[in-house]
Structure 1
Amino acid sequence: MNWLRAFDASARHGSFTLAAEELGLTPSAVSYQVRGLEAQLGHKLFRREHKLLNLTRLGHAYLPVVAKAFADIDASTWNLFGKGFEQEVTLRCLTSLNLLWLMPLLGEYKAQFPASRLRVLSSSWSEPSLGESIDVDIRYGDGNWPDGAVLPLMHNEVIAVAPPSLLGSVPHSDLHNLPMIEMTGVVDTWRHFFALHDPKVTIPEPTYKVDQSLIALELASRGLGIALIADVFARPYLERGTLIRASDTALSTQHGHYLVLPSDRNSHRPEVSNLVTWLQSQAGSGTALHTVA
């Protein structure tokens, strides 16, 4: 069992040193246990090249078998001895999605999983984490990240929103004359919007450029301009009446929100699977965890 634990941790981290930190052992002890397993099996599981640790073909094939076996043991222990056995799950989420979509739902999550221990982190950009052990990472983009298994979460339309006071001052055909708020680093811009809404107009430079949807929404709600925002973010402001839709035109976004399960973590843990399934049910995507094994 110790040999298998050493193999599992070393494969997930790609390092005897990091595996040793997880297991509370020395790197030499982990290396010794992996060699013992390889001797027992009669095959090499890792290629050791210039201090780099890479799985062999057989190692790649064996890892999901070992990971599933540990997940089954964890699940059985969890079912037999109660939910108090749950381990902490770390979820990282983009700040705007965290505040505008996730936070209002967490009470329901806690009611469904009362023994859960959830650690929630925020991020500004969709990039691999550095120095943090993340179990589930919510990112925005094209879904092409090499550091883990990727599951679709949600794709939203992008809509134009404005405060009622500002929008009432001009006809809808003159939206381009209002101060515009634009997000940096996105592919769905005011240029794309007006190409659909009114392709004949000359689009001025945005008055404000911001890096988060929450900032854009707050600027707009204070009467400082119109914002182009994913409808999932605008929904709370629309429901309160702080903002209204400035046009029936909507962009079908080229990017979306995805769940990334980093390859250096055990995504088969029951508490991780439960969180993934719950997030997908809330977003309406419903893609099963096992489809990306």
Structure 2
Amino acid sequence: MFDELPPLAWLRSFEATARLGNFTRASEELNLTPSAVSYQIRSLEARLGHKLFERRRRTLVLTRLAQAYLPVVSKAFIDIDASTAGVFGRSGGERVTLRCMNSLNVLWLVPRIEAFRARHPEITLSLLSASWAEGGDSALIDIDIRYGEGLWSDGEVIPLMHHAVQPVCAPGLEGGLPALERGPLIELAGVVDTWQHFFWKYCPERRPPLPDYVVDTSLVALDLAERGLGHALVAEVFARPYLESGRLVRSCDLTLPARHGHFLVVPSRADRNRYGPQTVIDWLKEIAAGEPHR
């Protein structure tokens, strides 16, 4: 039984080297010498009868067969790790550092943390907030939630949510397009889906009105709108708590399809076999899948 299964140490060296890109970084993670990792890779290649890496100067490139083999090996380690934790528990628990924009943190993530904690008491979530979804220094980050086109190159990019943007206002200010044309309008700086694009879509024959307020976060835009100071154009995922509580209403029934969305970014140097980050990723995808999208 399992006659074709190579030693797990060899597979671990293969997975770490493929993920990290060289023997040195893999050896640091595995607490081995680079020569020991290289020896285990050569032994695995000899056992399999096929090369796993093309050695090009200072870089290692996965062969086509290795590219097909790597997801299977990675998933096997993830399953073993999760099953071990499920049966025997985890000593000392595990900390996962998650970073996202302030608005998403406060309006979407924090209200769901208690449910995550009840399901996974062995994992401690460390939440960091960022003003904008930039790559920046991710040395201490396990998972980044960013807003944009999903074209970052500093890690694995996983789609999370894509929502339309919705005009909202305090009760009594709603009134369809005429109310929006009267304003006041609250604009989010730095976004691609603006009031100008909204009016171009629904009133192409008219010159778009200028915004009366320009702010840098959805939280501030929603707070201004709640105070009755105007109409805010924000992502539905942010507007929903305000709409459900009755603090805000829809200014009109029209929405603007968003060109950007929220993505998970797992830094390139991250160990995807760790139980904690993978569990958090699965949980985020689960709760995002339950969100109504347009």
| TM-score (normalizing by structure 1) | 0.79
- Deviation of 1:229 (Å): 0.4
Cα deviation 1:32-62 (Å, max 9, x = unaligned):
4434434444443223333223222233223
The answer as to 2:30 corresponding to 1:23 is yes
Tell me the equivalent position of 2:4.
Answer: none
- Number of matched residues? 284
The answer as to 2:168 corresponding to 1:161 is yes
Tell me the equivalent position of 1:290.
Answer: none
CA contact (8 A) 1:67 1:266 kept: no
Letter in 1 for 2:223: E
Could you say if the C-alpha distance between residues 26 and 219 of structure 1 is closer, same or farther in structure 2, counting changes exceeding 3 Å?
A: farther
Select the residue among 161, 166, 173 that pairs with 2:178.
173
**How many angstroms apart in 1 are the aligned matches of 2:246 and 2:44?**
63
The answer as to 2:213 corresponding to 1:213 is no
Tell me the equivalent position of 2:74.
Answer: 67
Say which is worse superposed, 144-153 or 55-64, in terms of deviation. 144-153
Partner of 1:248, secondary structure, is coil
Tell me the equivalent position of 1:291.
Answer: none
- Deviation of 1:228 (Å): 0.6
Partner of 2:242, secondary structure, is helix
- Deviation of 1:105 (Å): 0.6
**How many angstroms apart in 1 are the aligned matches of 2:138 and 2:276?**
22
Select the residue among 26, 44, 54 that pairs with 2:51.
44
- Deviation of 1:8 (Å): 1.5
CA contact (8 A) 2:138 2:267 kept: no
Tell me the equivalent position of 1:249.
Answer: 254
**How many angstroms apart in 2 are the aligned matches of 1:14 and 1:196?**
47
1:98-137 equivalence runs, <5 A: 98-128=105-135, 130-132=137-139, 134-137=141-144
The answer as to 2:237 corresponding to 1:232 is yes
CA contact (8 A) 2:170 2:249 kept: yes
1:254-265 equivalence runs, <5 A: 254-262=259-267, 264-265=269-270
Partner of 2:160, secondary structure, is strand
Cα deviation 1:126-163 (Å, max 9, x = unaligned):
44464425444323234444555544432322111234
Tell me the equivalent position of 1:138.
Answer: 145
CA contact (8 A) 1:153 1:285 kept: no
- Structure 1 segments unaligned to the other structure (5+ residues): 287-293
Tell me the equivalent position of 2:84.
Answer: 77
RMSD: 3.2
Letter in 1 for 2:164: E
CA contact (8 A) 1:176 1:201 kept: no
Say which is worse superposed, 139-148 or 47-56, in terms of deviation. 139-148
Partner of 1:235, secondary structure, is helix
- Deviation of 1:67 (Å): 1.4
**How many angstroms apart in 2 are the aligned matches of 1:130 and 1:36?**
37
Partner of 1:247, secondary structure, is coil
Select the residue among 10, 33, 42 that pairs with 1:3.
10
| TM-score (normalizing by structure 2) | 0.79
- Deviation of 1:107 (Å): 0.3
Partner of 1:203, secondary structure, is coil
- Structure 2 segments unaligned to the other structure (5+ residues): 1-7
Identical amino acids, percent of aligned pairs: 54
**How many angstroms apart in 2 are the aligned matches of 1:241 and 1:108?**
24
The answer as to 2:287 corresponding to 1:282 is yes
Tell me the equivalent position of 2:199.
Answer: 194
